[in-house]
Structure 1
Amino acid sequence: MMRRSIPVFLSLISLFVTPHVCASISLSATRVIFDGSRKEANITVRNGSQTVLVQSWIDSDQGDNTSLPFAITPPLARVVANQQQLLRILYEGSGMPSDKESVVWLNVQEIPQTSLSEANILQLAVRQRVKVFFRPPDLPGEAAQAPAQLKWKLQKEGGQTLLTVNNPGNYHVSLADLEVGKTDKAERVISATMIAPGEHRTFTLKVPLQSVSSPLSFASINDYGALQKFEVTLNFQEMSSATPAEVKEQQ
């Protein structure tokens, strides 16, 4: 009897409380490049239609976020409609690797303000999350050259065709639209991923390749959010590097 009453109870709640999701804010960039020779990096939060509270914090994918040597100011700010707020990301000066680029995440969450007339509206906080690329001072190499320095290899193992990529450089490479094979029969390996400095990654192709060599294409997202196309001619058991194809703005 209790189980039957639960759906009825939830239906009654929905008559009085209307869920309302509002994304009022936008960020001035899709990523933050933190120059380690400077004390801070900035990003702007733009507000649109209504007054909101903006809560910001830094975290990582490792789980232990209390030890990250970064701070956000202001961590909580009230931003009125059609105004903007500058967020400053501060670095303590130590605590991050000095021999390679690191990535942490900036979280910006908007909390809509509720008026008395909206008492029966359930408003949900909307969070945006962008990467912060921390680059130590005097780091060798250039981030723009990192995609072309990736090393690719095809190999057969147990009846499967494996695609391996190695990033020998000091910078992360953000990949998109990774495809193997000729244009009319290309296999989408992955839509988006990121290869860290020194990382080896292996993908299993769904369709085994029969030819000795095969074309590979991918796009890499640069510091400005633009997509740069690269092409590689793959050969079994041989390491291959990419060459740039074209550049276009990310949509």
Structure 2
Amino acid sequence: MLKQAVFPEDRETLLWLNIRGIPETQEHRKNKLHVVINSKFKFFYRPAGLTEPDYNDLRYEQKGNKINIINNTPFHITVRNFTVNDKEYTVSDMIVPFESLTVPLTAIHSNDTITASYISDFGGIISKPVTFKK
């Protein structure tokens, strides 16, 4: 076990805690249903110097029928979905700090209205219009 955790101070760190509950077994009780429960918890270490994500710092590039989201922030950003002309595309993915995520969509045109929705630190939905980097 770690006595002192060493995490980067310039970005968030994602940690996972997995807890598995396995029932005891007794050979003489063969007509029982055994259920194994696995709980997975997501934790973030956020250095004191970081406050909260600014979703305006995300950049977008169009690559054919794909949108590349560039995360220029020190935060993990959870993408919920994209809406293109009122049609919703579920994404449910996370972009790690200073990395990018490419999302395939159906045909995208220059005059389409595109909105990206993200899940905030408190579980709320934040929607932002998508404008492509030129």
TM bracket (short chain): 0.7 to 0.9
From the superposition, tell whether residues 213 and 234 of structure 1 become closer, same or farther in structure 2 (CA, over 3 Å): farther
Q: Choose which of 221, 230, 236 in structure 1 pairs with 2:127.
A: 230
Structure 2 counterpart of 1:63:
none
1:137-183 deviations in Å (ceiling 9; x for gaps): x333x23x34343222324xxxx32211111111111221x123111
Structure 2 counterpart of 1:167:
71
Tell me, yes or no, if the aligned pair for 1:174 and 1:193 is still in contact at 8 Å.
Answer: yes
Q: Which runs of 4+ in 1 moved over 6 A?
A: none
**Normalised TM-score (structure 1):** 0.46
1:210 aligns with 2:121: no
From the superposition, tell whether residues 180 and 153 of structure 1 become closer, same or farther in structure 2 (CA, over 3 Å): farther
Unpaired segments of 5 or more residues in structure 1?
1-70, 72-90, 239-251
Structure 2 counterpart of 1:21:
none
From the superposition, tell whether residues 116 and 233 of structure 1 become closer, same or farther in structure 2 (CA, over 3 Å): closer
Q: CA deviation at 1:188?
A: 0.7
Tell me, yes or no, if the aligned pair for 2:84 and 2:112 is still in contact at 8 Å.
Answer: no
Q: Which has the higher helix share?
A: 1
Unpaired segments of 5 or more residues in structure 2?
none
Identity %: 19
Return the structure number with greater relative CO, CA threshold 8 A, min gap 6: 2
1:40-83 deviations in Å (ceiling 9; x for gaps): xxxxxxxxxxxxxxxxxxxxxxxxxxxxxxx4xxxxxxxxxxxx
Q: Which has the higher strand share?
A: 1
1:98-152 deviations in Å (ceiling 9; x for gaps): 221111210111123457884432413211111121123x333x23x34343222
Distance in 1 separating the partners of 2:88 and 2:131: 14
Structure 1 counterpart of 2:84:
181
Q: Choose which of 106, 123, 127 in structure 1 pairs with 2:38.
A: 127
Q: CA deviation at 1:211?
A: 3.3
Code of the residue aligned with 1:179 in structure 2: it is F
Structure number, greater radius of gyration: 1
Distance in 1 separating the partners of 2:90 and 2:22: 38
Distance in 2 separating the partners of 1:146 and 1:211: 25
**Normalised TM-score (structure 2):** 0.79
Find the residue that maps to 1:197 and give its secondary structure. coil
Find the residue that maps to 2:55 and give its secondary structure. helix
CA-atom RMSD in angstroms: 2.6
